[in-house]
Amino acid sequence: MIVVGGEALIDLVPVAQPPGALLPRPGGGPYNTALALGRLGVRTAFCSRISTDGFGASLLDGLRAAGVDLSLVQRGPEPTTLAVPSLAPDGSAAYGFYVEGTADRLFRLPPALPEGVRALALGTCSLVLEPGASAYETLLRRESGRGLLTLLDPNIRPALIADPAAYRARFLSWLPHVGVLKLSEEDAAWLGGRAGDWLAAGPSAVVLTRGAGGLTVWTREGAEHSVPAHRVAVVDTIGAGDTVNAALLHRLAAGSERPGPVDWPEVLSYAAAAAALTCTRAGAEPPYAAELSGARPTP
């Protein structure tokens, strides 16, 4: 099983008609990652705090439909976090947020994760907004100490970070507890670091998403691999990076059962194919396993 921890929210996605209208869609980086893993057929549990309001109910319905385990989900009467993406002509998105007094930021540390968990993924708003951020940070340190594969996707949202210098320092303090650091070119530019520096701090691999430029990984052993992006008609990029998270975890956590070197070109190619399909759909709509059957080699 893979556990994904972090926020679940509602994206208010702009639509063409009527002018100025916003369409509510399930979202949040960790939520999208859990949804994508479930659709890929991976045993997945979501670890979060979700509102008891109507939006919260719809978020849970989406996870259930993907087969995601909800036993680690906490509930609260506070409203659901809202995000308003603005789309650029190339389909990329910037975000504004409504987060004051919302349910997901009140997450509490669970006493234990279920037996059989092989990996933990964390990231995005949940590692910024207190008091939940400290609970997720403690979860990362605790589960890394138990030997779990950990993936961190900072997925920087500058509008939420009141003290950039403090966040950058906190980010560096997480790296000794991170197995795979995945981030975008925009994240890397905002954080102001380099792959070699981050690898020296702890992760075994750093994966960089470069939009239309594809994906690159650097490993602690000194290897570097890149794959191109798939050429598709992009509707928007919402959820593409989260789909990459899911694809990486799918391949890496499964590979942990078969000791040996990671086939990074295959892993990245699979992630690129999954992200490309997500970009052909409005909002965060990651693909199902059957849609990617041609992107994986025969075992």
Instruction: Note if 242 is an active site residue.
Output: yes
- With beta carbons less than 8 A apart as the criterion, state whether 260 and 291 touch: no
> Residue 240: how many CB atoms within 10 A of its CB?
27
| Catalytic residue (choose from 90, 236, 242, 263) | 242
- CA-wise closest residue to 180 among 214, 146, 208, 145: 208
Nearest one of 108, 59, 109 to 79, comparing CA atoms: 59
Q: Are 50 and 8 in contact (CB under 8 A)?
A: yes
What is the rounded distance in angstroms from the CA atom of residue 147 to the CA atom of residue 143?
A: 7
Q: How far apart are CA 47 and CA 63, in angstroms?
A: 12
Contact 27, 283 (CB under 8 A): yes
Burial class (CB in 10 A: 0-12, 13-18, 19+), 189: exposed
Catalytic residues: 242
